[in-house]
Amino acid sequence: MNQPTALVVDDEPDICELLELTLLRMGVDCYTASSITAAKAVLLQHPDIDLCLTDMKLPDGNGIDLVQHIQNRYPSIPSAVITAHGNMESAVMALKAGAFDFVSKPVDLTMLRTLVTTALKLSPKQKNEKPEAALTLLGESRPICDTRTIIAKLARSQAPVHISGESGTGKELAARMIHEQGARADKFFIAVNCGAIPEALMESEFFGHIKGSFTGASSKKEGLFQAADGGTLFLDEVADLPLNMQVKLLRAIQEKAVRPIGAQQEIKIDVRILSATHKDLAQLVKEGKFRQDLFYRINVIELHIPALRERAEDIPLLTNHILKQLASEAGEAIPTLDKEACDALSRYHFPGNVRELENILERAMTLCEENHIRRENLQLEPCVTSSPTAQADSTSMSTVATDETKALDPLLGDIEKERIMKALEESRYNKTAAAKRLGISFGALRYRMKKLGL
């Protein structure tokens, strides 16, 4: 009864038969149709099919029209399109319309089987076999609820997604959610910061190399694309890629294949590409600093993560969650905040977003007395607070605030070290007594000393 079923739509009998035979050998029952009209009739009779595979050119319309019809009427059915070889424009249009994925003619049967296997994991029949996703963007505000809804939809596709948003908003978390809620959840999620790889090593890091391919290549090395095969590759700070690497990355994405340094043959890879940056990619394209064709390829769908100041009502919930985590790591009771501290956090502009909130609360836990956080422990004075005037000039003031916060960090670290050292000296280096003097637990003192390198 749980035998998967697919709808194959193609007006060429030979191709239709090839696809049907391939699916039948995979244990997938097939319905076939030679036009959009016939396909719609099959869908009416069998609305619970698990996959639709359609050609792009059909006698009574375009395969994208069928994809949109399925998206509107049968959103739980993943659809894939067969495009002409090298026609990336049609493939991107199909993905934007809601297609799960695409294959190019002549159809590579290995890639087709991979696509079908991945798509079938989204079937409601497989729902009970898939573990619940653990990661989430916390908050109950409308912007973050809408973001979670979009992420759930994006997880049902293989389309490349570009995640935009300010630093500290949770772009990597959003990428991990897309992976975890999707059909690739049982495979690897590989995250790489493109700005952290030396330019001379980039090609080797991304594509790998064979032994002896260059000086120092003493053994074969697998690249990031191969490591993520079957799963997801997350390119963080993709705007930092140099132009020559952008060309090679574009080819790997389009051809779904990589060639390790020194190798003669390309290796087929099945990777979903997610990317992110806090920079304006469209502006970088205009300035000639980012290739337009790569931008077009990775930005099939854009997901914007809202800044924390755009969802200020979530600050209390996030604060409680972060304090629970910090207290658990430090092995102490959850600290309390007085009303003035809560009000100050609610008014604060947060140029560093959720990451900055985490840093502020971690410092406050160290500076507070008797596990009670007061406004002065938050150290918010040097930074900008939200107001109509402040928001009107948010960009410039955010930059100033971020610089001031960075400048303040070493100072706060020195203050913290000084207080801990003083307490240790006064208690003759008895850590239990020193913790009592500081108003924190012994576990919290050990945690802070380790973090500060004491």
Q: For residue 306, what pLDDT is reported?
A: 96
**Any idea which residue has 């330019």 for tokens?**
199
Q: What is the pLDDT of residues 208-225, one digit of tens each?
A: 988 877 777 778 888 999
* pLDDT of amino acid 383: 47
Question: pLDDT tens, 9-31?
Answer: 999 999 999 999 999 999 999 99
Question: Cα(284)–Cα(133) distance, rounded to whole angstroms?
Answer: 35
Q: What is the pLDDT of residues 258-289, one digit of tens each?
A: 999 988 899 999 999 999 999 999 999 999 99
What are 213-217's contacts with CB under 8 Å, separation 24+? 213/260, 213/261, 213/262, 213/263, 214/261, 214/262, 217/261, 217/262
Give the pLDDT confidence of 123-167 residue by residue, as tens digits.
776 654 555 556 789 999 999 999 999 999 999 999 999 999 999
CB-side neighbour CA atoms (13 Å) of 141: 19
Q: Where is pLDDT greater, at 380 or 132? A: 380
d(CA 343, CA 373): 12
pLDDT at 211: 82
| The residue type at 289 | K
Peptide bond connecting 47 to the previous residue in cis, omega within 30 degrees of 0: no
Confidence of residue 412 (pLDDT cuts 50, 70, 90): low
Residue with tokens 């092995």: 331
Q: Tokens in use for 83?
A: 């495009």
Mean pLDDT over 317-344 rounds to: 92
**CB 66, CB 58: distance < 8 Å:** yes
* CB 208, CB 261: distance < 8 Å: yes
pLDDT reading at 394 higher than 50: no
pLDDT attached to residue 3: 87
The domains found in the chain, sorted by start residue, are 5-128 (3.40.50.2300), 142-304 (3.40.50.300), 310-416 (1.10.8.60)
Transcribe 376-403 into DSSP letters: HHH--TTS-B--HHHHHTHHHHHHHHHH
> Has residue 239 got a pLDDT over 90?
yes
Task: Supply the pTM of this predicted model.
Answer: 0.80
* Residue 50 identity: D
Give percent of the chain above pLDDT 70. Answer: 88
Question: Where is average pLDDT lowest: 44-53, 76-85, 321-330, 432-441?
Answer: 432-441
Mean pLDDT of the chain, nearest integer: 86
